[in-house]
Amino acid sequence: MPHTTRVLRSEWTKIRSVRSTLWTLATALVVTVGLSAVFCALTASQFDNLGERQQATFDATQTSFSGSVLGQLAMIAFGVMVVSSEYSTGMIRSSLAAVPQRTVFLAAKIFVATMLVLVVGMITSFLAFFVGQALLGENSVSIQDEGVLRAVLGGGVYMTLLALFAMGISFVLRSPLLAFAILMPFFFLISNILTGVSATKDYAQYLPDQAGKTLTAVVPESLNRPYGPYEGLLIMVAWTVAALIAGWIVLKRRDA
């Protein structure tokens, strides 16, 4: 236990001492809340011009998280930097020399990152919701309405799982440039393209970010998914666990 405590403290020191990782979390918060506020303000001003179907399936809660489209990229960047920065600087050799039990090393890094991202993710989610609902005016919903609190909590969980997924992939790739080159275009562009193409739509809606969107949905018709938020959570957890297991296997088998 004392050894594990020292490893946890070491991982916390690493994250805290690298300013770029903390600035990345701050960026995720500001971008998500700021862009969501803009989208909510625009939606409120144009709501009467929406079609009947759009108004009937309007999800005020999920509209509060519109900015997460870009905010999620900052969370992915955090996950990449927490892991791959050690490989790019060569510090991974010192880390593994100090903690030869690689499973303990991985678990400590994941635990510290999870706690930090979860706190920031929840703060971001609640801020985005309350600011967004204030701007939506008469089209807003209350945190006490059915399914709303679950969706707001889901927003924080979604951001946390994205960061962990990025960490798992980064342990596999071990290069920040390669991780960014694959993850950023995939989540920002490719996933949405695949979802919009009829030939790939049925498969693309099971991708991690597409499944994660259901976590913040209260009106199922707004997303047109064949599954609900709890199934979406299981899908995203499965992706995240698979990525972390792959990262663990690579960490165990390859030299630093």
Whether residue 140 has pLDDT greater than 70: yes
The whole domain housing 19 covers: 2-253
Quote the CA–CA distance of 50 and 192 in Å, as a whole number. 23
How many domains does the chain contain in total?
A: 1
Per residue in 50-92, pLDDT (tens digit) is 887 888 889 999 999 998 888 899 999 999 999 988 888 788 8
Distance of CA 4 to the CA centre of its chain: 27
Quote the tokens at residue 216: 């913040």
pTM above 0.85, yes or no: yes
197-221: average pLDDT? 89
Start-end of H helices in 18-147 = 19-46, 52-56, 60-63, 68-89, 91-98, 102-136
Whether residue 2 has pLDDT greater than 60: no
Quote the CA–CA distance of 70 and 73 in Å, as a whole number. 5
Give the list of residues 6+ apart from residue 210 with CB closer than 8 angstroms, or none: 191, 195, 204, 225
Q: How many CB atoms lie within 10 A of CB 239?
A: 21
138-163: average pLDDT? 94
Closest CA to 132 of 5, 250, 43, 2: 43
100-124: average pLDDT? 93
Q: How many CB atoms lie within 10 A of CB 142?
A: 10
Closest CA to 10 of 119, 118, 95: 95
Whether residue 213 has pLDDT greater than 50: yes
